[in-house]
Amino acid sequence: MRCTAIIPAAGIGTRFGGSLPKQFSEYESIPILIHTLKLFERIPEVNSVILAITPSWEEYTREMITVHGLEKVQKIIPGGKERQDSVFNSLNIIEPNEFDVIIIHDAVRPFVSSELVRKIINTAGETGAVIPALKPKETIKQFDDKGFIIKTLDRTVLCAVQTPQGFKSDVIISSYKKAMKENFYATDDAALVEYSGFPVKVIDGEETNIKITTQFDIHF
Ligand code: C5P
């Protein structure tokens, strides 16, 4: 099975504070993005990586890729305004039938395990679309714009979604084409697949697979 990993890394990280986009902040003296890329180097099932970044960060990123001896980054392409635009730009450079499975993983989730990535690839090959998720531990409520509760939701039917999300190549490419044509925007890739009417399988995510969003997350 041929698989590529798309890593959207073109965010500006406004919730993170500081002068650097969060994917370039360092953890153990290595940029978070490089930690994430190193992970895919170690997974034989991933044949190549496509990286979407802000063009002004390209030179530095290429330098880091060389310094850390990363061999799987096949293409570096410009990101877009939203994460979805960055992923769409990445999908656009893939030839039809070039890959069987495409996985999409946030640059700012460096702690995902190889086991979960492999499970996503294999399950995507079987079902067409798969996402990792965790059941909420807290009670979840819906609130209005004045800060008052509208209702308490049934948490047994809810889940908090992570990446990597995995798809058969034709499923994700056709779903993105339809969504972009119809100007349908969402906060994860699976939502576009759902919009196209394909079933999406959910498997267990990992508590350690955190998305680095604030300074607190990096200390944590
Ligand atoms: O902003 P958020 O935390 O949702 O970003 C998730 C991932 O998407 C990050 O790796 C970020 O760099 C990437 N992103 C992107 N292009 C954007 C916005 C976010 O590639 N325009």
Q: Tell me the pLDDT tens digit for each residue of 16-25.
A: 566 788 899 8
- Average pLDDT of every residue of the chain: 95
The CB-based long-range contact list for 191-197 (8 Å cut-off, 24+ gap) reads 192/84, 193/129, 193/167, 196/171
In the predicted structure, residue 75 carries a pLDDT above the cut 80: yes
Whether ligand 1 lies within 6 angstroms of the CB of 77 is answered as no
The CB-based long-range contact list for 54-58 (8 Å cut-off, 24+ gap) reads 54/10, 54/12, 54/21, 54/78, 54/79, 57/21, 57/24
DSSP 156: G
Q: Copy the structure tokens of residue 47.
A: 């044949």
Reported confidence tier of residue 27, pLDDT bands at 50, 70, 90: confident
CB-count exposure of residue 1 (10 Å: 0-12, 13-18, 19+): exposed
Given this model, what pLDDT does residue 18 score?
A: 67
Percent helix / strand / coil, the chain, rounded to 5: 35, 20, 45
Q: CA–CA separation, 111 vs 208, rounded Å?
A: 6
* pTM score over 0.75: yes
Residue 155: CATH number of its domain: 3.90.550.10
Whether ligand 1 lies within 6 angstroms of the CB of 124 is answered as no
Expressed in angstroms and rounded, the spacing between residue 155 Cα and the centre of ligand 1 is: 27
DSSP 111: T
Q: CA–CA separation, 164 vs 119, rounded Å?
A: 10
CA-proximal residue: ligand 1, atom 6 (nearest):
106
Reported confidence tier of residue 12, pLDDT bands at 50, 70, 90: confident
Helix, strand or coil for residue 159? coil
For the chain, the domain total comes to 1
| Range 147-160 average pLDDT | 97
Whether ligand 1 lies within 6 angstroms of the CB of 107 is answered as yes
Kindly report which listed range (2-16, 20-34, 136-150, 200-214) carries the lowest average pLDDT score: 2-16
Q: Which atom of ligand 1 lies at the shortest distance from residue 52's CA?
A: 20
The domain containing residue 138 runs over which residues?
A: 3-219
Beta strand pairing status for 73-78 and 48-53?
Answer: parallel
Q: At what angle do helices 169-181 and 83-91 cross, to 10 degrees?
A: 130
Contacts with 186 (C-beta within 8 Å, 6 or more apart), sequence order: 84, 179, 192, 195
